[in-house]
Homo-oligomer: A and B are copies of this chain.
Amino acid sequence: MKRVTLAQVAEAAGVSVMTASYTYNRPARVSDDARARVLAAADRLGYAGPDPSARSLRRGSTRTLGVVLGEHLTYAFDDPQAVRFLAGIADVCAGAGYGMTILPITGADDDVPRVRAAAVDGFIVWTTADDDPVLAAVRSTKRPAVVHGGPAVAGLGLVSIDNRAAARAIGAVAFAGARRPAVVSFPLSRERISTVVRGPDPAPVLFPVTRERLEGYRDAADDLGLAWTDVTVAVCSRNDGAEAARLAAALFDATDPPDAVAAMGDLLAAGVLDAARAAGRAVPSQVAVTGWDDAAVAADLGLTTVAQSLRDQGAACARAALGATPARSAGPPAAPWSIVRRGSTR
């Protein structure tokens, strides 16, 4: 009773192998009698159904999608938006009878081989840096693949909102009437350095989502006649409210405290609100604050923010990756977003 094969079941049932196979794959094509005999024999022998690997090899499909999550998985799972995104993928996968394999990227040398060796029909890549070697590895498999957020890679699909346009729009609301705007940003480099700079050049930023949002905020400043070089950008090492609160407290403590703060995430914005309260600065009269994502916390805090559905985007990625052809068809329509105005802005 070590390893039972379909052939053994068929023999025990007194039918051919194919009848046994049909019993599992096309039950309707087998007589009731034969099916019953096969199932009885399987039960008797402890046969748990066709071997998944053999089946995958034979039919040329694993019925599984791979999700590449960059850097530390803990961070990915700690990000509520990433979690929503995964749930969207899972919905589509479950609906299609597909599994979902998480491929954590550790930064070690074995990332690329692990991705290449993944038994999946297609890939979904959570947003990563422009020069991430995993992107090339995914492309080299020639299987359908979709990148979320960016970077855009030839041959791979892309599902994303227009981050630059959205940042420009939310920046317009955040910075309206302001004289000393500030930005709270995600990391500018893989080193995740926490720092405060003025009007950084977005171009060298390797994370496309962060780069495009910076560009959009800069557009917004330009639109309002504000000099980007005067805009303070507080860079957080992580999407973490406590760190944003610390950095924001320093900003409010300076001689020229900001009167408008646009944050790249709702959690960061929540930290800014904390710091504003602690510094005794009224929102929005003395300082306007905006977030990003329209998470639950945004509604709780009355935060003006950018709404987007990571869940829908996850689902869109999964559908594209399930499609036979690489989702390059017709250029992916950008995902929807909108500005939600609440009390944290003027």
Q: Which residues of A contact B (CB under 8 A)?
A: 46, 48-57, 60, 62-64, 66, 73-74, 77-78, 83-84, 86-87, 90-91, 93-94, 97, 99-104, 106, 110, 113-114, 116-120, 140-142
Inter-chain contacts of A60 with B (CB < 8 A): 53
B46 touches A142 (CB 8 A): yes
A97-B116 contact, Cβ under 8 Å, with A57-B57, A87-B77, A90-B73? no
Distance in Å from the Cβ of A89 to the closest Cβ of chain B?
9
Told that A56-B56, A77-B87, A100-B101 touch, could you supply 13 new A-B pairs with CB distance under 8 A? A48-B116, A48-B141, A51-B57, A54-B57, A66-B99, A77-B84, A83-B83, A90-B102, A90-B104, A99-B102, A99-B119, A100-B102, A102-B102
Inter-chain contacts of A57 with B (CB < 8 A): 51, 53-54, 56-57
* Cβ-neighbour of A77 out of B48, B83, B120 (below 8 A): B83
Q: Which 10 A-B pairs have the closest CB atoms?
A: A52-B119, A53-B56, A77-B83, A53-B57, A73-B90, A74-B87, A101-B101, A48-B140, A49-B116, A100-B102
* Cβ-neighbour of A119 out of B56, B73, B141 (below 8 A): B56
B73 touches A77 (CB 8 A): no
A93 touches B101 (CB 8 A): no
B101 touches A99 (CB 8 A): yes
Residue of B nearest to A61 (CB): B53
Residue of B nearest to A4 (CB): B142
* Cβ-neighbour of A52 out of B46, B90, B117 (below 8 A): B117
Inter-chain contacts of A54 with B (CB < 8 A): 57
B114 touches A52 (CB 8 A): no
Residue of B nearest to A59 (CB): B53
Residue of B nearest to A137 (CB): B48
Residue of B nearest to A83 (CB): B77
Distance in Å from the Cβ of A242 to the closest Cβ of chain B?
9
Inter-chain contacts of A93 with B (CB < 8 A): 104
Q: Report the Cα distance A78→B86, complex, angstroms.
A: 11
A102-B101 contact, Cβ under 8 Å, with A62-B53, A117-B52? yes
Interface CB pairs A-B, < 8 A, 26:
A49-B113, A50-B117, A52-B62, A52-B117, A52-B119, A53-B62, A53-B119, A56-B57, A56-B119, A62-B119, A66-B99, A73-B94, A74-B87, A77-B84, A78-B83, A83-B83, A94-B114, A97-B110, A97-B114, A99-B101, A99-B102, A99-B103, A99-B118, A100-B102, A101-B101, A102-B102
Residue of B nearest to A138 (CB): B48
Distance in Å from the Cβ of A311 to the closest Cβ of chain B?
8
A117 touches B74 (CB 8 A): no
A73-B87 contact, Cβ under 8 Å, with A99-B102, A100-B102, A103-B99? yes
Distance in Å from the Cβ of A190 to the closest Cβ of chain B?
18
A91-B119 contact, Cβ under 8 Å, with A53-B57, A78-B83, A101-B102? no
